[in-house]
Amino acid sequence: MDPESMARALLDAQVEWTVNRLTGDELPGLAAGLVDDVLAVAETVTLASLADPETIKSIARMLSTTVPPSVAASTLVERGAEILMSNPAGTYALGEVVDRDNVARITDEVLALTPLIEELLDDLTRSPLTATLASRFVGRIVNDVVAGNRAVAEKIPGIGSLVSFGSKAAGRAIGTAGDQFETLFGDTAAKGAEFMMGRLNKIIIAMLNDPSARAAVLEVFDLYAGKPVKPLSEIISIDDANRIAGIGQDVVIAAAVAEPVHKLIDAFIDGFFAIYGDLPAAEILDDLDLTREILADYAVTAAPRAVAAVADSGELDRIIRDHLAPFYTSPEVLEILSGEA
């Protein structure tokens, strides 16, 4: 047998042997062994020696730019909206998914930010339109209160005619400004909208500073904690859900390409390598509570299915052969098979 024929025979034999190992009963052991080999290397090799931070940053930037606007992302966003609308979780209470202690902690943190909220509200007064809207809001509240008191007073014998007379007199005094208090208040607020919004801001801040604010939030949570959460399909339509999801995706697409976001990604990667870069890679798995048993179990479970799918496609034999053939057709191997080495 000439060297070329012998090389082809050896290649066929090794391909068949490898395929049999990957598709037979040995595969679970091979998968577990591969996990052990990887972990053995991870025990001695640092993360910084395995991966370059700059390369990871480049990959992260690429993914943040290309993935959000991709067809796959759009498809998943639409499908995600449909899944949420179908309510796969069934009937459940708010308290089953949101812990009361966490609500209390979040409330404490938000209330602690009251000075920041106050500063933000004060900044909003610089917007004339926002201030006008706030003054109109207060005006409607005051108007409703006055109207409510008038309705109650008119039911009292002897008081109704007095209230009616007062209203007519006020109407004549207002003249062309209109019959309703809201209109009068709105005209006045147009000149002092900033002042009115400042007063509204003080009311909001006073409410947040009230000692009972925390208890009120928790009381509201307790009122709804045991009640079934209304399915999303009863609140909005599927078209609304898809539209809102699309808007969310557009926001992510626009933000993901922004340089400040890329700098933030870079900073997180630098921070990660600052912690784990000089440590053995296995330290990351330990800190994630991923033991050898967990990894091996998943590898043993997943490998047979994945390899079987490749084998059924008819590509497994070709892939192995393409990787091994260069070795058997190399001059060095042919020289050995010819007996000239």
pLDDT at 176: 46
Residue 11, pLDDT above cutoff 60 = yes
What confidence category does residue 3 fall into, taking pLDDT thresholds of 50, 70 and 90?
confident
What confidence category does residue 192 fall into, taking pLDDT thresholds of 50, 70 and 90?
low
pLDDT at 177: 44
Q: Which of 56-60, 152-156, 164-168 has the lowest mean pLDDT?
A: 164-168
- Nearby residues of 33 by Cβ (< 8 Å), 6 or more positions away: none
pLDDT at 137: 74
Q: How far apart are CA 277 and CA 81, in angstroms?
A: 39
Angle subtended at Cα 270 by Cα 266 and Cα 273, rounded to the nearest 5 degrees: 140
Residue 169, pLDDT above cutoff 60 = no
Q: How far apart are CA 189 and CA 252, in angstroms?
A: 39
What confidence category does residue 61 fall into, taking pLDDT thresholds of 50, 70 and 90?
very high
Residue 179, pLDDT above cutoff 50 = no
What confidence category does residue 341 fall into, taking pLDDT thresholds of 50, 70 and 90?
low
For residues 293-323, b (16+ Cβ closer than 10 Å) or e, as one string? eebbeebbeebbeebeeeeeeeebeeebbee
Residue 168, pLDDT above cutoff 70 = no
Name the residue with higher pLDDT: 135 or 304. 304
Predicted TM-score of the model (pTM): 0.76
pLDDT at 220: 95
Residue 187, pLDDT above cutoff 70 = no
Dump pLDDT digits (tens) for 123-165: 887 777 877 777 777 777 767 766 766 665 556 555 555 445 5
Dump pLDDT digits (tens) for 65-114: 999 999 999 999 999 999 999 999 899 999 999 999 999 999 999 999 99
What confidence category does residue 121 fall into, taking pLDDT thresholds of 50, 70 and 90?
confident
| Angular region, 282: left φ>0, alpha ψ -120 to 50, beta rest | alpha
Contact 77, 249 (CB under 8 A): yes
Which whole number is the average pLDDT over 30-40?
95
